[in-house]
């Protein structure tokens, strides 16, 4: 009887170590899978500069929403988005599911890194159009959604400056970039402004 107990104890100990080994292998497999997923997400192909024609945007608002007046008569920046080759945006940074950049600056740090000149340029070219909007709130949102996973996660002022430079380059302006200058007419006043 004593020998049976030892055999059974030895067998359960071997079963327990086998189970521990399986758990370690499973944990290792999950870690490798997670690591490759994160690496794939960090390898985007290009940046997409998203511009908005303010008047058109304001016409699409819900009845309870309004745009600031006067509405800019030029394309404004909506965002600069890291994008995969298949035209899919890189998912936003998340500490647990998408660590696409090592230690990116937080939203508050990003806003604190902007010079007065950059803020002035952003106010002119990257405004929030929706009332009662707050431009730094819009920029923080875009930083969280796209900037933290860009090449500039540690240098937010570079991210915003590059977006401004691209938007100010006439070759990226849909009204002039095609080689045929188009200018918006005076048009009717947008009823969605206050």
pTM value is 0.70
Q: According to the model, what pLDDT value does residue 14 have?
A: 55
Fold for 46-172, please state it. Answer: Ribonuclease Rh; Chain A (3.90.730)
Q: What is the pLDDT of residues 139-168, one digit of tens each?
A: 999 999 999 999 999 999 999 999 999 999
Tell which wins on pLDDT, 9 or 178: 178
Mean pLDDT computed over every residue of the chain: 76
Q: What does the block give as tokens for 116? A: 């007065």
pLDDT in tens, 166-180: 999 877 777 766 666
d(C-alpha 45, C-alpha 84), whole Å: 5
pLDDT digits (tens, 9 = 90+) for 96-145: 888 888 778 988 999 999 999 999 999 999 999 998 889 999 999 999 99
Confidence band for 183, pLDDT divided at 50, 70 and 90: low
DSSP designation for 78? E
pLDDT tens across 49-81, in order? 999 999 889 999 888 889 988 889 889 999 999
Strands (E), 53-95: 76-83
- Per-residue burial over 64-101, b if 16 or more Cβ lie within 10 Å, else e, is eebbbeebbeebbbbbbbbbeeeeebbeebeeeebbbb
Asked if 114 and 158 count as a contact pair (C-beta separation under 8 A), the reply is no
Question: What are the structure tokens assigned to 106, written together?
Answer: 């937080």
């Amino acid at each position: 009887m004593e020998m049976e107990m030892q055999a059974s104890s030895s067998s359960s100990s071997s079963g327990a170590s086998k189970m521990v080994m399986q758990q370690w292998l499973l944990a290792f497999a999950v870690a490798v899978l997670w690591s490759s997923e994160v690496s794939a997400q960090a390898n985007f192909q290009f940046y997409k500069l998203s511009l908005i024609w303010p008047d058109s945007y304001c016409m699409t608002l819900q009845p309870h929403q309004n745009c600031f007046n006067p509405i800019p008569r030029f394309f404004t920046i909506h965002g600069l988005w890291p994008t995969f080759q298949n035209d899919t945006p890189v998912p936003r940074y998340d500490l647990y599911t998408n660590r696409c950049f090592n230690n990116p600056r937080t939203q508050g740090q990003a806003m604190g890194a902007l010079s007065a000149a950059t803020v002035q340029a952003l106010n002119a070219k990257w405004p929030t159009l929706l009332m009662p909007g707050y431009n730094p709130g819009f920029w923080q949102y875009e930083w969280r959604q796209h900037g933290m996973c860009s090449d500039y996660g540690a240098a937010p002022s570079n991210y915003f400056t590059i977006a401004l430079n691209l938007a100010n380059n006439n070759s990226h302006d849909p009204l002039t970039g095609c080689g045929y200058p188009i200018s918006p007419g005076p048009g009717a006043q947008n009823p969605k402004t206050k």
